[in-house]
Chain A
Amino acid sequence: MIRHLFKLIWNRKKSNFLLITEIFFCFLVLFGVLSFIVYNVRNYTRPLGFKHENVWLLTMRPSTDSTAQNRQIVEQVIQRVRAFPEVDQASLISSNAPFSFSQMNNHFSYGDVKRIDSDVYEVQDEFKDVMQIQVNQGRWFGTSDDASHHEPVVINKALQRVLFGEEDALGKIIHVDDSTNFQVVGITDYYRAGSEFSAEDPAVFTRINLKKNPKYFANEMLIRVKPGTGIDFEEKMVKEISGIGKDWALEVATLEKMRQNKAKVTIIPMIALGLVCGFLILNVALGLFGVLWYNISRRNSEIGLRRALGAASGQIYRQFIGEVLVLATFGLIFGVLFAVQFPLLQVFQVDSEVYFIALAGAVVLIYLLTTFCALYPSRQAAAIHPAIALHED
């Protein structure tokens, strides 16, 4: 019977062309939206590599352009912040704090692997404790590195994979545009600072050594406060810091709040796309339902004939459901052929698994949708009285 249904639909391909096209486009939209959702959900379920609860970001905007003076004030601020009993630890950081909207990157090379793009985070030794980062191989940098010949760096696994492959990365020297040499002293499993929905991109932590680099200035500081520390302390801290940096603009934000804001950047488009997709599917479903109903009403005499030849009403019901599934299969064949190019050509540098999950999901949804749309018209077809249907020709 399956062969018969395929033959029937294939022979009616001209009249079914629009329906097949509709299913094809519906599949593509579903595939696109599902790829986006699967990509983000998969990222969301992965560890961030740090703990952002009870961490605040202090942003300081100096009132003067004097680097020396500003640097002096920043050092005083760090000392004061660390001295608060409510504070566990604090670290200066470059402008790309977790969940912020800025990025800093550079190209790293090792051996034959040239110019690998990686996020760069300039942090102090205390950053590991502030963000509670786990170093799984080697160690975090510290004062023992003050005397080292090369700049110590900690990298994440993503960078280790692309730069070193299976080779042990610890102790290796990596280059930034052939000018600066960094020595890998530690490797973390994860570090996804962009957002909970970000992919695991290569990351390098470089060391802020205020003693070694007197001109270095960073205007952002991450502060881990003791659990339960609230707005009263924030006011007290800002007031005291304002006393150190006169006329400096100070801003405090919790990483939790920043996380929520950053998540909206992904969640809102995801919801919008989901709604558009849902609306489209509803339209397709209504169209499909109408066309199927119309087609079945045009085939009354064929239904009567099949009943006369020995088809029970249940077989008519299953035949029409089967026909719709075959129609969907034709649309899906073209759709899958198109969609499978994405993982094959590595479009958007997304993991192939994401595309394959989305592809499978879209196929299942299309089959469910078409079956659902065919249920009622097929039931109507099965209920047609054969004697009446045969006389409708």
Chain B
Amino acid sequence: MITLSNIEKVYQTKTIETVALQNVNLTVPKGEFLSIMGPSGCGKSTLLNIMGLLDIPSSGIVTIDGQPIETYKDKELAHIRNQKIGFVFQSYHLVNDLSVMDNVELPLLYRSSISGSERTKRAKAALEKVGLSARTQHYPNQLSGGQRQRVAIARALVGQPEIILADEPTGNLDSVMGEEVMNILLDLNRLDGTTIVMVTHDENMALKTERLVRFFDGQQVSDSKLIANFQQV
């Protein structure tokens, strides 16, 4: 579970002070599929970075599974990211010089307890889950946008994280591919109980999730449950 209490994020330069987030209070219970919407520059990605421990708030408290992380050092934050959080980005962020298999194995490289053969086994299973087991030795530039995003999802779930943070995962895809990726995320949430927080501009995608939070000018303006649309298995 992720809890954000009174989160504020201010970017400060010598001349300008930009408030990216203001008084954000948000709780994401375990197993929820939450979508965040809002116009560009409203602070969605900043919020996701704070939830993913990639950025620290200017004020407020972030807790993961009840543990406040404000006193955590870089190494401990990296450990939590590695163990508990999976990331999916709009631009995939695949390493072009590594094969699909190696890209998916990446998070496991930072777990010293996992052997090489175990890494391969888990990466294969993750790729199978996203329907790309035939592409393990391909390189990212040999794949379509949808396939790349599926590789990114496989990479996010290979470490069996409790939470997946997806920053506009369908933003660069056409509607068919977007649908495919969305279905994978939905399956992950419904079948594995993975908590998913997804930032999106696409209303249709957002409406498929369990809960929708809207942001405007760094502030949370609405928070609605979408149980009617969210199909429970």
Binding-face segment, A92-100, A115-123, A383-391? A383-391
A286 within 8 A of B: no
Instruction: Give the complex CA separation of A307 and B159 in angstroms.
Output: 15
Chain A residues with CB under 8 A of B89: 305, 390
The answer on a CB contact under 8 Å between B98 and A393 is no
A144 within 8 A of B: no
A11 within 8 A of B: yes
- Cross-interface CB contact of A7 among B75, B77, B102, cutoff 8 Å: B102
The answer on a CB contact under 8 Å between A309 and B110 is yes
Chain A residues with CB under 8 A of B97: 8, 11-12
A85 within 8 A of B: no
The answer on a CB contact under 8 Å between B93 and A301 is yes
The answer on a CB contact under 8 Å between A387 and B81 is no
Instruction: Give the complex CA separation of A242 and B232 in angstroms.
Output: 122
The answer on a CB contact under 8 Å between A302 and B78 is no
Chain B residues with CB under 8 A of A313: 74, 78
- Cross-interface CB contact of B54 among A8, A315, A386, cutoff 8 Å: A386
B45 within 8 A of A: yes
Residue of B whose beta carbon sits closest to that of A391 = B45
Residue of B whose beta carbon sits closest to that of A4 = B109
The answer on a CB contact under 8 Å between A308 and B87 is yes
Instruction: Give the complex CA separation of A301 and B77 in angstroms.
Output: 19
Q: Which of A1-29 contact B (CB under 8 A)?
A: 1, 3-4, 7-8, 11-12
Q: Which size class do B's interface residues fall under?
A: 20 to 34
B43 within 8 A of A: no
A311 within 8 A of B: yes
Chain A residues with CB under 8 A of B82: 309-311
What per-residue 1/0 map shows which CB atoms of A372-384 lie under 8 Å from chain B? Answer: 0000000000000
Chain B residues with CB under 8 A of A305: 87, 89, 93, 95, 106
A306 within 8 A of B: yes
Chain A residues with CB under 8 A of B109: 1, 4
Residue of A whose beta carbon sits closest to that of B105 = A4
Instruction: Give the complex CA separation of A312 and B81 in angstroms.
Output: 10
Given contacts A387-B49, A390-B93, A391-B45, contact A312 B78 (CB under 8 A): yes
Q: Which of B48-102 contact A (CB under 8 A)?
A: 49, 52, 54-55, 74-75, 77-79, 81-83, 87, 89, 91, 93, 95, 97-98, 102
Instruction: Give the complex CA separation of A104 and B74 in angstroms.
Output: 74
Residue of A whose beta carbon sits closest to that of B79 = A310
A165 within 8 A of B: no
What per-residue 1/0 map shows which CB atoms of B133-173 lie under 8 Å from chain A? Answer: 00000000000000000000001000100000000000000
A314 within 8 A of B: yes
Q: Distance (Å) between the CB of B56 and the closest chain A CB?
A: 9
Residue of A whose beta carbon sits closest to that of B159 = A310
Instruction: Give the complex CA separation of A177 and B208 in angstroms.
Output: 103
Residue of B whose beta carbon sits closest to that of A308 = B87
Q: Which size class do A's interface residues fall under?
A: 20 to 34
Chain A residues with CB under 8 A of B106: 305-306, 309
- Cross-interface CB contact of A3 among B83, B91, B116, B155, cutoff 8 Å: B116
Chain B residues with CB under 8 A of A3: 116
B193 within 8 A of A: no
Given contacts A3-B116, A307-B78, A310-B82, contact A387 B55 (CB under 8 A): yes
Chain A residues with CB under 8 A of B75: 312, 314
The answer on a CB contact under 8 Å between A315 and B78 is yes
The answer on a CB contact under 8 Å between A308 and B45 is no
Residue of B whose beta carbon sits closest to that of A314 = B75
Instruction: Give the complex CA separation of A8 and B96 in angstroms.
Output: 10
Q: Which of A276-308 contact B (CB under 8 A)?
A: 301-302, 304-308
Q: Which of B3-21 contact A (CB under 8 A)?
A: none
Interface centre among B45, B52, B75, B106 (most CB of A within 10 A): B106
What per-residue 1/0 map shows which CB atoms of A163-186 lie under 8 Å from chain B? Answer: 000000000000000000000000
Chain B residues with CB under 8 A of A7: 98, 102
Chain B residues with CB under 8 A of A304: 54, 93
Instruction: Give the complex CA separation of A12 and B95 in angstroms.
Output: 11
Residue of A whose beta carbon sits closest to that of B81 = A310
Residue of B whose beta carbon sits closest to that of A13 = B97
Chain A residues with CB under 8 A of B54: 304, 307-308, 386-387, 390
- Cross-interface CB contact of A393 among B49, B93, B102, B110, cutoff 8 Å: B93
Instruction: Give the complex CA separation of A121 and B95 in angstroms.
Output: 72
Chain A residues with CB under 8 A of B81: 307-310
Q: Which of B90-138 contact A (CB under 8 A)?
A: 91, 93, 95, 97-98, 102, 106-107, 109-111, 116
- Cross-interface CB contact of A308 among B46, B52, B79, B102, cutoff 8 Å: B52
Chain B residues in the interface with A (C-beta under 8 A): 45-46, 49, 52, 54-55, 74-75, 77-79, 81-83, 87, 89, 91, 93, 95, 97-98, 102, 106-107, 109-111, 116, 155, 159
11 contacts between A and B (CB under 8 A): A1-B109, A11-B97, A307-B81, A308-B93, A309-B81, A309-B82, A310-B78, A314-B75, A315-B110, A390-B89, A393-B93
Shortest Cβ-Cβ A-B pairs, 8 listed:
A310-B82, A312-B78, A310-B110, A387-B55, A11-B97, A387-B49, A309-B107, A312-B75
Chain A residues in the interface with B (C-beta under 8 A): 1, 3-4, 7-8, 11-12, 301-302, 304-315, 385-387, 390-391, 393
